[in-house]
Amino acid sequence: MVLLAQGIGALLGLLAVVFGAFGAHALKKSLNNDQLKSFETGVKYQMYHAILLLVLSFNFNLDTPLQQYMIYCFISGIFLFSFSIYLLVIGKSKGKHMAFLGPVTPLGGLLLVIGWGLLLYSFIANLV
């Protein structure tokens, strides 16, 4: 599980840099300011959570169910949150309305919140 979290964290970090550059250069001409800000939000959240996955994988054994659920929440949350934003923004810039993705973004956000809640719970459980 540690190697999986490290590999996915590194991949998400790499992709955040690529998508950030893509948004700043290639998409800048085809997106309005609101769309560009939304795209940048997806990139920021992706990078924050990529770094978090790496930090957690180097500090936890990730061998308990709680730690594993936490990692799964972060991984699935970032894919649902950030990647749905990317698809919504790029689709809208090309005149395609992908309404089915509307509920995916908040679901991804909810999984990120659950992951953070599990992390908080693990800290509190170790104090008691």
pTM of the predicted model, to two decimals? 0.94
Instruction: Identify the pLDDT of residue 107.
Output: 98
Quick count: other Cβ atoms within 10 Å of Cβ 80? Answer: 21
Instruction: Identify the pLDDT of residue 117.
Output: 98
Cβ(94)–Cβ(27) below 8 Å:
no
Sign of CA pseudo-dihedral 109, 102, 37, 24: positive
Instruction: Identify the pLDDT of residue 99.
Output: 86
Phi-psi region at 95: left, alpha or beta (left = phi > 0; alpha = psi -120 to 50): left
pLDDT mean values, one per 10 residues, the chain (128 residues): 96 98 89 94 98 97 96 98 96 88 96 98 93
Instruction: Identify the pLDDT of residue 28.
Output: 85
CA distance 46 to 15: 9
Instruction: Identify the pLDDT of residue 128.
Output: 86
Q: Retrieve residue 121's tokens.
A: 């719970």
Hey, where are the domains in the chain?
Answer: 2-127
CA of residue 83 relative to chain centroid, distance: 8
Instruction: Identify the pLDDT of residue 69.
Output: 98
